[in-house]
Chains A and B, each alone.
Chain A
Amino acid sequence: MASSSGGFPWITLVVFLPLVGVAAILLAEETRAKWIALGTSLVVLLCSLPLWIGFQESSPAMQFVERYRWIASPPIHYAVGIDGISLPLVLLTTFLIPLCVLVSWTAIETRVREFMISLLVMETATVGVFVALDFVLFYIFWETMLIPMYLLIGVWGGPNRVYAAIKFFLYTLAGSVLLLVAILVLFFTGGHTFDILKLSQAIYPPTLQAWLFWAFFAAFAVKVPMFPFHTWLPDAHVEAPTAGSVILASVLLKMGTYGFLRFTLPMLPDATAAFTPIIMGLSVIAIIYGAYMAFAQADLKKLIAYSSVSHMGFVTLGIFALNAQGIEGAILQMVNHGITTGALFLCVGIIYERTHSREIRDNTGLAKAMPRYATFFMIFALSSVGLPGMNSFVGEFLVLLGAFAWGKLTATLAALGVILAAVYILWMVQRVVYGEPSQQMSHKLFDLHWREMGTLIPLAGFVFWIGLYPKPVLDVMHASVEHLLQHEVRVMTVEQPPRHEKSASLSSSQMAALSGYRDGQLP
């Protein structure tokens, strides 16, 4: 029962080519490892481009689908495909991995071979998560991802790496266990299949949906991470090597929000409708709380980590606004956050290589000694602030528009995050870029060289491209997002009339019933 769309298996190539690179690294000498890793990741990037070029924007269906039976009973398939939601994330991943190799070029001095292997396994696992159309396959990729990340933090990390690595591993694993339970429940109630698309078509009883919703939530909210499940993130970021931080921020955090989009929204529309206010509330808290946490940090990586909590709050806010602008803004914001925050971690990594400190007070006044570095740092910092003309603004604007349609006060509070972002980022810039140059560090500072420029220029290119002309990126999403929203319409038609009138009707007719209960007159 091997059904496939017939074309060239580009997706499989993109997913498994990194493992070929792994094999090559194992066979080759250690000194060649980084070259092989770089070559492999660049080839993977090239192989992912046909996915974009050949992608039919007008179609909401899964494309480049490959589907082979893997295990007969229970029916598990190797099924992969992409739509407008996963395509941008796949491309983001394949684009970032070569940069991660480049930034580790001299920063990683021990066990280079194993490091590069971890990066490539990471690529397979993350792309696999985004393209999997079978729940078991998805879960395998989902859990595989933890291992290389655990190693990246635990082996090549900072002084407190073991604590951070174990915390990361256990925290995310604990969430994932409930995901596994949810997958099994879906299998038995959704027609004995692991096919994600079929499971998305099935209709589940509302009570079951509620249980499944929170099981999914446990897995996804930890990954995003949503308030109050975020405390593993600063520790993991601070201890991780630069490439680890970049992957963690740019790709790993997207798994959670991708999960909401791929599973929670289509499969559990009733529960989504019911629990949206809670998620919206948590998102707003994350935006404001994350920003406040960022103020208080003296460590650059921690500051950026907490800013991630704030920025990812915008993503969940957009998703649960349940309208086109919100969701498209959220997907775009996922990409934007990947680019901008990834780039900021790269910048911190670059300066750490010189001064061996991530403290703001040790890295001040870089504009004088490192003008090129300062320029790039400024670009990414301003992008993080959400300055128009740069990428993040587009995503944030659409998210806020979506959230505003959902609730005026919600969007207003979320928009406060835009002010707060300016405060913590610019205050950091004021010290790091423009401050008094630190005396004992000045001899260690030298400006960017070609390899570092090579990692930052493409990222800056995307910052401006998406900022000035986001249309192509958004056009990819329209059909899929519209398709996704149809699941929600199923509920909305039941939910009518709008919230406040509903609560008004509750007070009139149901209050009578309630008073009846109180009088002991059971119906």
Chain B
Amino acid sequence: MWYALIPLLPLLAFVILGIGGHWIKTRAHLVAVPAVWLSLLLSLFAWVEVSTGQPVNVTLYTWASSGDLVIEVGLFIDRLAAVMLLLVTIVSGLVHVYTIGYMHGEPGYARFFANIALFTFSMLMLVMANNFLQLFVFWEAVGLCSYLLIGHWYERQTARAAATKAFIVNRVGDFGFLLGILLVFVTFGTLHYAPVFAEATQKASATVNVLDALGGKWEVSALTLICLLLFVGAVGKSAQVPLHVWLPDAMEGPTPISALIHAATMVTAGVFMVARLAPLYNLSPVAMDVVAVVGGMTMVVGATIALTQTDIKRVVAYSTLSQLGYMMMACGLGGYVAGIYHLLTHGAFKALLFLGCGSVILALHHEQDMRRMGGLKDKLPLTYWTFVIGSLALAGFPLTAGFFSKDDILVTSWAAGVLGQVLAIMGILTAFLTAFYSFRLVFVMFWGESRVDPHVRQHIHEPARVVTAPLLVLAGLSIVTGYLGIPEFLQPVFAGAETEVHHGGAAVGIMIVTTLAGFAGIGLAYVMYVRSPALPEQLAAQWQALYRLSFHKWYVDEAYDKMFVMPTFRLADRLWRKVDVAVIDGAVNGIARAFAWWGWITRFVQTGEAQNYALGMTVGAVLILTAYLML
């Protein structure tokens, strides 16, 4: 039961900071940092335990029951969960330390620590969930933390808007997720992983009538529908096309959370979910193909946008999008091990890149535009070298961790039929783009002439050690994670489900081609941004349409604005004025007015004069008599 301490320690830190933050203020890190590092230590124990023995599955308490539904909160730690635990606690631990320096002197210091502690708790509970509802609960909880942290600097209009956007776009995804859970319960009668996975094969041919409410009949495969609905949730959380629009805007949040939440952990939850639910996905080829294609599209779209962005955090954000696409594609093609492997190495090098950006931003007094950088490598040597290591890993440079995991993905993809081969080719092309944009970033930020504001330029210096130490650790991890035998460690989790990886001639070929693509990308970036800096401008002018498409992020935001956002508000306003006030309430008031009107009419009958009444009586009596006689 001590496993429960892994998430509970950060929760405790959150509670203390949440209630006492007002008094703790600048000492907030003294509460949060030890809590997270202790949880890291315990995660190591858990990792040792499951790597030598059986997976852990404990029930903490019964959350609710109703009819035949029983929901328990539990912890499930197998090898997959164990590596996720380590990823979350290591990155979170480093980000906590980094935050001490990055957020130093901020008024919201304690609030920030409280929220990242809450995030760490939620993320840990998410990866250890042993049932679908718990997964969903913490899935939304990490979304809440993300919302609160994106909006941390809520004085900025852009930050507020980005926070709301992130929550709502994720809600759209969660809508599918929720329906998927409902369908799991209707199909399996339980929401716990173990019995669902055990029965999955028997239910492979089960169908569900989606039109039952209308008395119609349209039977579709229950498992495929479950997988697709749950995947909608993953599309939202892991920022896959077409719900990717929130992630770049999320860069409005302070940089430490971009590293923790929007690169290393939360956004990978979608990939984790697909891998976790591999026993279901494997039974639905349709769902698998959809996962692979969506992943592949995201991979390409993210990379093409990253080429032209000028905000350094946005470049890294779009690269995250693209890398998440790689992972998702791998899972969709059955390469869960490769996908999760890339998830882990990416967690290290992408956190490094974000924290490196943060270090630069800090040194330049919150400047994020690369056009006002340049020549920083001598002033910020440590940041520079770690950033280069991160970029090499991202570009898949040989012998870095990113090289191994990306290679695994492409080799597995190649082995997965025609779709896999098409996607693998796209993956290789994207690898070229990736290498190009990551070194565009390196060259423009750190090389060449300084374009920094002269006032700021004099004061540039390497940030405090709490900021640089995490960079060094992550730089180490960006190399080392390639040599820890992670794929072999993960293999048993997906035993039987994994597409066989053939280490034959094709594998060597792909490795060589990918490596060459990476070199080509770096070389092109060198030519364009170091050798002849005028070239990018010329190319942009020459290929204006393409450049605009990339620079304006394929105009997806604009399209959504026109298609969903504006129409919703307009429709709401029209419905309210034209239907609710005019028609429905109009009818209500109309009825009331009709009564008043009738009362007003009948008032003339009540004249109070006896003659009129007598006349009325006589006329009435005559009429009745006539009627009586006639009939």
Spell out A's residues near B (CB within 8 Å): 167, 170-171, 228, 230-232, 277, 280, 289, 292-297, 323-325, 328-329, 367-368, 382, 387-389, 393-394, 397-398, 400-401, 404-412, 415-416, 418-419, 422-423, 426-427, 429-430, 433-436, 468-471, 474-475, 478, 498-500, 503
Contact = CB atoms under 8 A, between A and B. Distances in A.
Contact of B182 (A324, A389, A411, A470): A411
Nearest to A323: B67
A426 B66 contact: no
B617 interface: no
Contacts of B144: 382, 387
Contact of B213 (A382, A400, A406, A469): A406
Nearest to A302: B576
A416 B175 contact: yes
A368 B573 CA distance: 30
Contacts of B157: 436
Interface stretch (B97-105, B133-141, B503-511, B522-530): B133-141
Name A's interface SS.
Answer: helix
Interface string B53-67: 000000001111111
Interface in B577-623: 577, 580, 584-585, 588, 592
B211 A409 contact: yes
23 contacts: A230-B584, A231-B580, A280-B213, A292-B575, A292-B576, A328-B66, A328-B67, A387-B140, A398-B66, A400-B178, A400-B182, A404-B186, A407-B213, A408-B183, A415-B178, A419-B175, A426-B168, A430-B163, A430-B164, A433-B154, A434-B154, A471-B65, A503-B215
Contact of B141 (A297, A389, A426): A389
A289 B575 contact: yes
B151 A325 contact: no
* Size category, B interface: 35 or more
A436 B64 CA distance: 41
Contacts of A426: 147, 164, 167-168
B572 interface: yes
A405 B588 contact: no
Contacts, number: 155
6 closest cross-chain pairs (CB), A and B? A407-B213, A324-B67, A295-B572, A388-B137, A296-B576, A434-B154
Given A292-B575, A382-B144, A426-B164, A471 B64 contact: yes
B588 A407 contact: no
A407 B212 contact: yes
B215 A471 contact: no
Given A289-B575, A387-B144, A329 B66 contact: yes
B201 interface: no
Nearest to A371: B22
A401 to B, nearest CB: 6
B112 to A, nearest CB: 14
Interface in B460-502: none
Contact of A408 (B178, B185, B212): B212
A404 B217 contact: no
Contacts of A367: 154
A388 B141 contact: yes
Name B's interface SS.
Answer: helix
A47 to B, nearest CB: 29
A401 B136 CA distance: 14
B172 interface: yes
Nearest to A468: B63
Contacts of A328: 66-67
B556 interface: no
B171 A418 contact: yes
Contact of A499 (B133, B215, B575): B215
B160 interface: yes
Interface of B: 61-69, 133, 136-138, 140-141, 144, 147, 151, 154-155, 157, 160-161, 163-164, 167-168, 171-172, 174-175, 178-179, 182-183, 185-186, 208-217, 568-569, 571-573, 575-577, 580, 584-585, 588, 592
A90 to B, nearest CB: 21
B142 to A, nearest CB: 11
A409 B572 contact: no
A358 B178 CA distance: 34
A388 B125 CA distance: 13
B362 to A, nearest CB: 24
Contacts of B577: 296
A295 B63 contact: no
Given A408-B211, A430-B163, A324 B66 contact: yes
Given A400-B178, A418-B175, A409 B67 contact: no
A434 B67 contact: no
Given A293-B576, A500-B216, 7 more contacts: A228-B584, A401-B185, A408-B183, A408-B208, A408-B212, A416-B175, A471-B62
A406 B212 CA distance: 8
Contacts of B63: 468-471
A332 to B, nearest CB: 9
A292 B175 contact: no
B137 A419 contact: no
A111 B567 CA distance: 47
A21 to B, nearest CB: 35
A170 B592 CA distance: 9
Contacts of B138: 388
B58 to A, nearest CB: 18
A173 B484 CA distance: 75
Contacts of B573: 295-296
With most chain A CB atoms within 10 A of its CB, the pick from B144, B151, B167, B216 is B167
Contacts of A409: 210-214
Contacts of B151: 434
